Amino acid sequence: MPPWAWRRAAGTLPEPAGFFADARLPLADHEIRHYGQIVAVVVAETLEQARDAAARVEVACETRPPNADFGRAKRHAVRPPEIPGLPLGRVIAKPEDVDIEAALAASEVRVEATYDVPPRHHMMMEPHAAVAAWDDGKLTIYSGTQGPVAHAMELAAVLGVPPADVHVISPYVGGGFGGKAFTWAPAMLAAAAARALGRPVKIVTSREQLFTVTGHRAASSQTIGLGAYRDGRLHAIKHHTVSESLVEDPGYRAAQKYYATPNAHIELSITPGMNLPPATIMRAPGDEAGSYALESAMDELADRLGMDPIELRVKNHLANTLIGGIPYASKHLEECYRVGAERFGWSRRPARPGSLTDGDDLVGMGMATAVLDAGRAPTTARVTFRPDGTATVACATSDAGTGMATIMAMTAARALGVPADRVVPALGDSRLPVAGADDIYGAIGSAATATVTAAILAAAREAIDALVRHAATAEGSPLRGAGDVRYEEGCLIGAGTCTGAGEARHEKGRLIGAGTSIGFGELLGLTGTAEIGADGTSTAPDDGHAHASYAAHFCEVRVNRWTREPRLSRFTTVVDAGAILNAVTARNQITGGVLFGLAAALCEEGRVEAATGRISNADLAGYLLPVSADAVEIDVHFLDHPDTGLGPAGARGIGELGTVGAAAAFANAVFNATGVRVRTLPITVDKLLG
């Protein structure tokens, strides 16, 4: 499902409150559903006054035992309601429906295990914050958001005003990871309080509140069954998931797009009515958790078969999607395996777990596959020429630290044939170009580059056409009346006779001679024109192919033989993500994604007290995150094969790709080092001492 359709399918537009979250608005009734829920807002002149006043608020309520224990709740999980557009509980069977248990039982080699993933929290350094002000019934709100236009629409729905009366300004988002993709209570309450008081209001969440008033990654428990022939060919895949939320559907996100099999059964159950803060999307929702379970199970199967894990994956290479049989376009995953194994030195991996030592360290190597659906959303961009010789490129998207502003400038510069330092990007504003109610795309779903670059290229073509027409017809243009005017590298060149034309030559936008060649800035100055520009709109492609980005991760770990402390020592990832438009920002995204996934393997988990529903480690002291001492230099290599079927720039998404499969690669390396298979994240010392 394309990421820009999530809100529509979930029914969250125009209704706000977060993706698949409890849709009740803050302060909408008198029931407290989870620990840390907002029950009041205190507004004061200073932060200190507000904090002191909030501490004096007393809440009287009746209490009852919470339903906050996921381990207990999953025993009573139920199938979720069907939501149009969301493929839940899919059954795949070829050539006819079969009993998945019978298919597994008929397999020559079988593994089955359950893999548990705890809740995770976005933990961006920059918390959710908003400054809201009203003027003549219209709202201007400065709010860190990954989707300015959707943010404006959601706030408008809450406040009961037309979307055009809400102006969202968000030039700097800070960290997001999906946590700022939807509208949460702090922004809603800032806007409501500002309207009630007739004064600007600022609300900034505390670190502890980030665990309770915004979303988190849902806990999940996945049962994987793999059946294979003795030569390694898969005969059946079972991927059954129990999750807190519909958003975390690891089975559909992983099992249907990794490996070929004639029989597969993907099922999701949820634990409704839990007294926990709402779950939402978090970097690679479903994909991260699903890849951990499936890729761990594949490693277990390889061990059971006595087969190299890469050989097992190549033998089950998937050319078409399991659901629908749609062929994948531009897929070079097998090359990722080959190049990665060579760069990493996979041939030195010990076949027998626990057999390679270095002093007091047990050394192990593991690998995993990463697959991430690639999409392109409808969006609009505007390219504008200005008299000072610069051009602007504008789009109502967002830059959550991914380098979107740089990509926008680079793409426009290439399309216009001018240096990038002459292009000024504008983004993070809901009033920048949009094309209709469906044009709500922001920094979400690893599709921003493919989406925005397609719109920029379309806008550049339209803007150049408008500039050429202006050069040939405008009063004061030295090219007026020219037979043919063309645009090259920032210049307008007349091929025929022009008014006042004489001998001339063209040197990078400067007019040398009587006027047959002129830079666009000088042209606009001579014609007294403030700007010439045009919009371009990109739509979702429909080329009959499935598009995805791929990676092969290779990980080496060292586990102290006495303390059993696991440490990352080497990591290589080879990426097939289409054309790489900016190698520096792309490498940064893959490195960040890998570390994000390794954090799940090493230390991250939200701990919920079953008796109270309180998150006991809701701070940076108790909620552990990797630090510099936990990291190594990540070896990242891009294949750089353009995928022009997805978009004219040939690029596919990478923002979330790195985190997919990273935890599994680490877990598989730990098994290779110790012979201990850990099926519950994170992989901590106590789990390796047993």
Active site residues: 656
Alpha helices, DSSP H, located in 447-566: 448-473, 520-526
Residues 283, 652 contacting (CB under 8 angstroms)? no
Residue type (1 letter), 564: R
Report helix, strand or coil for 74: helix
Q: Phi first, then psi: what are they for 115, rounded to 5°?
A: -120, 125
Classify residue 285 by its DSSP letter: T
Give residues with Cβ within 8 angstroms of 489, minimum separation 6.
417, 418, 508, 509
Secondary structure of residue 180 in the 3-state scheme: coil
Looking only at the bridges linking them, the beta strands covering 109-117 and 263-270 are unpaired
Token pair 């701990």: residue: 607
**Cα–Cα distances in angstroms (integers) from residue 160 to residues 18, 23, 30, in the given order:** 18, 16, 21
Unique residue bearing structure tokens 């051009």: 391
Burial of 79 (0-12, 13-18, 19+ CB in 10 A): exposed
Q: Which of 293, 187, 207, 288 is nearest to 247 (CA)?
A: 288
* Residue labelled with tokens 């531009």: 330
Residues pairing with 453 in the sheet: none
- Give the N- to C-terminal CA distance of the chain in Å, as an integer: 41
Do 303 and 295 form a contact (C-beta atoms < 8 A)? no
Phi then psi for 64, rounded to 5 degrees?
-145, 155
In three-state secondary structure terms, 581 is coil
At 206 the three-state DSSP class reads coil
CA dist 423 and 139 (Å) reads 30
Q: How far apart are CA 258 and CA 664, in angstroms?
A: 14
Sign of CA dihedral 339, 376, 250, 586: positive
Q: Which of 663, 686, 687 is nearest to 677 (CA)?
A: 687
Which single residue is written with the structure tokens 């030592």? 357
How big is the CA angle at 75 (ends 73 and 80), to the nearest 5 degrees? Answer: 75
Radius of gyration, CA atoms only, the chain: 28
How far CA 689 is from CA of 359, 363, 677, in Å, comes to 19, 16, 12
Q: How far apart are CA 230 and CA 237, in angstroms?
A: 15
Sign of CA dihedral 19, 22, 24, 25: negative
Distances (CA, A) of 207 to 68, 116, 365, 483: 21, 26, 37, 66
What's the DSSP call for residue 56? T
Q: How many angstroms separate the CA atoms of 420 and 566, rounded?
A: 45
| 92 Cβ contact list (under 8 Å, min separation 6) | 256, 263, 264, 265, 266, 322, 323
CA–CA dist 539, 296 (Å, integer): 37
Q: How far apart are CA 389 and CA 385, in angstroms?
A: 7
Amino acid at 628: S
